[in-house]
Amino acid sequence: MFEIIRTIINRDLTLAMRRRSDVMTTLFFFVIVVSLFPLGIGPELNTLRQIAPGVFWVAALLASMLALEKLFAADFEDGTLEQMLLTPQPVFILVLAKVFSHWLITGVPLVLLSPLLGLQYDLAAETLGVLLLSLLLGTPALSLIGAIGAALTLGLRGGGVLVSLLVLPLYIPVLIFGAGAVEANVSGLGETGHLLMLGAILLLALVAAPLATSAALRISAE
Amino acid sequence: MSLAEFFDMGGYALYVWSSFGATAVLMIAEPILLRGRRRAVLQRIARLIRIRTEENQ
Amino acid sequence: MSSRIINWFKFSSPASFYPLAGKLIPVFTVAAVILIGVGLYMSFLVAPTDYKQGEGYRIIFVHVPAAWMSMFIYLVMAFWAAMGLVFNTRLSAMMAESLAPTGAMFTFLALWTGAFWGKPMWGAWWVWDARLTSELILFFLYIGYIALKGAIDDTRRGDRAGAILLLVGVVNIPIIYFSVKWWNTLHQGASIDMKTGSSMASIMLITMLIMALGFWMYSIAVAFSRVRSIILDRERDSQWVSQLPEVQQ
């Protein structure tokens, strides 16, 4: 079973390295959105510090959503997905592996870059740390939850917008606690509660989301 | 309460009647639209049956 | 005793449910008209003027029942989704599909009437009150389901995908509500309270219940009507449909 997890992750990472534009587009979308807001709102540092948690988290949300289409689509089109569904391994594990590689490719770069971007908003070092931690806990949850939407809409027309419509309501709790954690740190109220809730959501997503995703994959790929 | 007072709803006329109005409009429109849908489905099926019987003859 | 049990499952076939629903629609329609009529009478002519909110508070007699129905219908849809997945009955999925537009409508009405209630009471057309915000998210859940069903041509895939989406949604609703409530209390404190005051006069509660019951009867009548159209459309190639009197004109 670990064999197949390693295989899937290796394969996805290799494919991503060959088509590096996919990785880069998600990352640069995040960078651009985060950099656009000060241009739209004004350079007043006090304002920026206040809106930073929301801006970063909404940008991460949108970037994660955009990247969802690539989760299963390529494998679906070339028949690999069907093969994966036919293997004796539980689809739950396959889904976990795919989502993990997806997160490595699209989520981790965001997480790593966020402290640097946070400097644009004049955030304190401690706040940058909370931002990084919140995204570290939140982006995998977003990938896990988003996978459900990606699986349900496999091969459908109207793709990107439809996935967003399905997945955004489910993303909202992650957004609330993620941005809330950073804001709690800025306001001095303490981010621990929010981060714990994020962790709880991540755990729940780890257990429940792949179940729904597997069911959805079977339905979509038949 | 006189009729004028009733329509005025203590100054809240706009809000009360917009609320009850929207509710009434939607809850009347929905069954009407459904009747149209049913008629369209029945017409479509009748046409399909006609085509099928013509083919069989 | 056993013959009654067999009868229930007989109605899980679209062909036998179609005439049953047809006979029941007038019953529920009449019930709806009576209850809503009585409810409206009570809303305007029996319920007293609120000492704090004047006549404007009467909006709750549509706002609250609409909100209750929006949530109740979603739960019923999720129930039929689960039934459809477990028992593989097509009619269960059709029932879920037939309830969605009505549920979305009530959600919209809850939001609309909530805004018209909020403006005179709290000065703003939209307040990010926990319940209104959760209602907005519920509206997105309904629209997502309707959009997904609309995008899938294959009915079997559509039924099952919609069912998964509903079940995922229903599990998320408490999470969403909890997180929105958290978000709301942290940001606004207890300043805004959508209730009409701590203790509602019992006559107001009774009026709300009557209106809610009326809305419920309405929903059943409308859902049965819609499911009949869905059944006809899906079963259009079958023998029993071609023999229906309404088709034979």
Domain span at residue C67 reads 25-234
User: Token pair of C242, please?
Assistant: 């071609």
CB C140 to CB A157 under 8 A? no
Q: Which residue of C has its CA nearest to A158?
A: C151
Tokens 């209850």, residue located: C35
- Give the SS3 label for residue C236: coil
C116 touches chain B (CB under 8 A): yes
- Give the SS3 label for residue B57: coil
Region of poorest pLDDT, from A20-29, A88-97, A193-202: A20-29
Alpha-carbon span B23 to B30, nearest angstrom:
11
Query: Contact C97/C163 with Cβ under 8 angstroms?
Result: no
- CB-count exposure of residue C190 (10 Å: 0-12, 13-18, 19+): exposed
Task: Determine the average pLDDT of the residues in A197-210.
Answer: 96
pLDDT digits (tens, 9 = 90+) for C70-99: 999 999 999 999 999 999 999 999 999 999
> Average model confidence (pLDDT) for chain A?
91
Query: Contact A219/A81 with Cβ under 8 angstroms?
Result: no
Residues of C near A (CB-CB distance < 8 A)? Answer: 137, 140-141, 143-144, 147-148, 151-152, 157, 160-161, 164-165, 167-169, 171-172, 175-176, 178-180, 182-183, 186
**Using CB atoms, which residue from A156, A168, A201 is nearest to C152?**
A156
- CB-count exposure of residue C168 (10 Å: 0-12, 13-18, 19+): buried
Alpha-carbon span A165 to A51, nearest angstrom:
24
Q: How large a percentage of chain C has pLDDT more than 90? A: 61
**Domain spans in chain B, listed from the N-terminal domain onward:** 15-56
Region of poorest pLDDT, from B8-12, C40-44, C92-96, C141-145: B8-12
**Using CB atoms, which residue from A169, A189, A216 is nearest to C176?**
A169
The CA-based dihedral angle spanning residues C38, C39, C45, C50, taken in that order and rounded to the nearest 10 degrees:
160
Give the model's pLDDT for residue C188: 56
Q: How confident is the model at residue C123 (pLDDT cuts 50, 70, 90)?
A: confident
**A 144-183: CB under 8 A from C:** 148, 152-153, 156-158, 162, 165-166, 168-170, 172-173, 176-177, 180
Give the model's pLDDT for residue A207: 95
Chain A partners of C137 at a C-beta cutoff of 8 Å? 169, 172
C108 touches chain B (CB under 8 A): yes
Q: How large a percentage of chain B has pLDDT more than 90? A: 56
The CA-based dihedral angle spanning residues C217, C218, C220, C221, taken in that order and rounded to the nearest 10 degrees:
120
C2 found inside a domain: no
Give the model's pLDDT for residue C7: 64
**C 209-248: CB under 8 A from B:** 218, 221-222, 225-226, 228-229, 232-233, 236-237, 241-242, 246-248
**Using CB atoms, which residue from A170, A176, A212 is nearest to C182?**
A176
**Using CB atoms, which residue from C144, C152, C183 is nearest to A166?**
C144
Query: Contact A118/A127 with Cβ under 8 angstroms?
Result: yes
pLDDT digits (tens, 9 = 90+) for B28-40: 999 999 999 999 9
**Using CB atoms, which residue from A169, A176, A208 is nearest to C141?**
A169
Give the model's pLDDT for residue C120: 86
**Using CB atoms, which residue from B9, B46, B48 is nearest to C55?**
B9
Spatial CA neighbour of C224 closest among C83, C11, C21, C19: C21
- Give the SS3 label for residue C75: helix
Residue C192 has pLDDT above 50, yes or no: no
Query: Contact B42/C232 with Cβ under 8 angstroms?
Result: yes
Chain C partners of B17 at a C-beta cutoff of 8 Å? none
CB A180 to CB C137 under 8 A? no
The total of structural domains in chain C comes to: 1
Neighbours of chain A (3+ CB pairs under 8 A): C
Q: What are phi and psi of A158, to 5 degrees?
A: 75, 15
Q: Which residue of B has its CA nearest to C221?
A: B31
The neighbouring-strand residues paired with C50 are C54
Length of chain B: 57
Amino acid in the structure at residue C73: I
**Using CB atoms, which residue from B12, B18, B49 is nearest to C247?**
B49
Query: Contact A52/A182 with Cβ under 8 angstroms?
Result: yes
CB C157 to CB A172 under 8 A? no
CB C183 to CB A157 under 8 A? no
**C-alpha to C-alpha distances, A34 to A105, A130, C210, nearest whole angstrom:** 19, 17, 51
Biggest distance spanned by C-alpha atoms of chain B: 71
- Give the SS3 label for residue C46: helix
From C226's Cα to the closest Cα of chain B, the distance in A is 6
Residue A111 has pLDDT above 70, yes or no: yes
Alpha-carbon span A96 to A78, nearest angstrom:
20
Alpha-carbon span A110 to C44, nearest angstrom:
57
- Give the SS3 label for residue A88: coil
DSSP secondary structure code for residue C55 in this structure:
G
Query: Contact C167/C81 with Cβ under 8 angstroms?
Result: yes
Give the model's pLDDT for residue C190: 43
Chain A with chain C: Cβ pairs closer than 8 A: 73
The neighbouring-strand residues paired with C54 are C50
C12 found inside a domain: no
> Average model confidence (pLDDT) for chain B?
89
Give the model's pLDDT for residue C191: 45
Region of poorest pLDDT, from A55-69, A132-146, C120-134: C120-134
Q: Which residue of A has its CA nearest to C152?
A: A156
**A and B adjacent (3 or more CB pairs under 8 angstroms):** no
- Give the SS3 label for residue C47: coil
- Quote the ipTM score: 0.90
Q: Which residue of C has its CA nearest to A167?
A: C144
**C-alpha to C-alpha distances, A6 to A19, A81, C45, C121, nearest whole angstrom:** 20, 16, 71, 59
Q: Which residue of B has its CA nearest to C106?
A: B23
The CA-based dihedral angle spanning residues A208, A213, A216, A217, taken in that order and rounded to the nearest 10 degrees:
-150
